[in-house]
Amino acid sequence: MEVKLKMDKQYSTPSEIKSAIEARCPRCRTGLMFNSTLLSLKKSRMVEKCPACDLKFEKEPGYFYVAMYVSYVLVVAELVAACVATAVLSGGVESPWPYIVVAIAITFLLAPFNTRYSRVILLYWLTPQFKFNRKIFEKVKSEGY
């Protein structure tokens, strides 16, 4: 007589911060939200639905316009930090040109970062409907994604 034990798999829950940095789905924290990495030479596009749990990221038309406001906050914080660093490193030079050059360079260099992470911030922390769901996470993991 053979006794079969039903083994309940326990999956460790990925942290919210780590999942957000990796741009994973906020509901299952498994599927990727973008089709390429941040530093890839390929154009990075956001996928419509999570490949793991089928969550539709754009919950209504024009939803990601709100991400522009989040991006604005990120840009302002980056520009303030860059201009303060420029003032400290240059010894407080009075000419506006170093500040203008640094501000333009920072804006262009960090544009891909701001675009991606403004959407991630919007989905993770500003949209209560997209909370982490442990049951969906375990289901996705048990299906082998």
pLDDT-derived band at 5 (thresholds 50, 70, 90) equals very low
Verify that 68 and 84 share a domain, yes or no. Answer: yes
Q: Quick check: is 44 in a domain? A: yes
Name the burial class of residue 16, with classes exposed (0-12), middle (13-18) and buried (19+) by CB atoms within 10 angstroms of its CB.
Answer: middle
Verify that 103 and 134 share a domain, yes or no. Answer: no
Q: Quick check: is 5 in a domain? A: no
Verify that 83 and 47 share a domain, yes or no. Answer: no
pLDDT digits (tens, 9 = 90+) for 38-78: 888 788 899 999 999 999 999 899 999 999 999 999 999 99
Q: 126 to each of 32, 33, 39, 80, 120, how far by Cα in Å?
A: 19, 16, 25, 24, 9
Verify that 76 and 118 share a domain, yes or no. Answer: yes
Domain count, the chain: 2
pLDDT of residue 7: 44
Cα-to-chain-centroid distance, residue 16 = 11
Q: Is the pLDDT of residue 4 over 50?
A: no
Closest by CA to 142, choosing from 55, 18, 134, is 134
Q: Quick check: is 111 in a domain? A: yes
The predicted model gives 76-82 an average pLDDT of 97
Q: Quick check: is 2 in a domain? A: no
Verify that 87 and 68 share a domain, yes or no. Answer: yes
The residue segments making up the domain with residue 103 are 64-126
Q: Amino acid identity, residue 26? A: P
